[in-house]
Amino acid sequence: MTIAPAMFCPRCNKPSGDTEKCTTCGTRLKALESAKRRGWVVFGAGIFLLVFVSAVWIWVDRLMAGQTADGLSGFIGRLNVVFVLILLCGALAVVSGWFQAHSGRTNRAIAFGILIVFAIALFVAYTALKAVNAA
């Protein structure tokens, strides 16, 4: 007797039997092990984002250390805020990946938080660039 792999609905996050589609919403079911593998991928991507963005942040701060142009201090301040927000996205991705790797379920609140924080980072970067170009 073979044991069917645990299945879950990616839309409802509900565990299900060995049927092909979710009984609640009709979405095709996924294996729990594949969701856990995707969680480890998200965890690794978050770690990579933390390390890479930290290295770029240090490099840019050292590059801009001796600059004294008009309006550059505000630009550097906003750029530091962008780096912090992107690092926050990486930290949230690490938490989300860890949660998914261990439970097999995605946490929609964290995923939505990553999206919102990244959108705010893009907006702050745009305003910083616009302020420097206007000066």
pLDDT single digits (tens) 50-95: 999 999 999 999 998 877 777 788 888 999 999 999 999 999 999 9
- The pLDDT of residue 1 is 44
Tell me the mean pLDDT in the region 107-133. Answer: 92
Cα(4)–Cα(97) distance, rounded to whole angstroms? 25
Task: Answer positive or negative: Cα dihedral of 83, 88, 93, 95.
Answer: positive
Among candidate residues 88, 94, 86, 87, the one with its CA nearest the CA of residue 40: 94
**% of residues, the chain, pLDDT over 70:** 93
Among candidate residues 6, 1, 30, the one with its CA nearest the CA of residue 17: 6
The tokens 């004294």 sit on which residue?
A: 68
In this structure, what token pair is assigned to residue 38? 């995707």
| Phi, psi torsion values for 14, nearest 5 degrees | -105, 135
Report yes or no: 30 and 104 within 8 Å, Cβ to Cβ. no
Residues 6+ apart with CB under 8 A from 119: none
In this structure, what token pair is assigned to residue 96? 């989300």
Cα(83)–Cα(79) distance, rounded to whole angstroms? 6
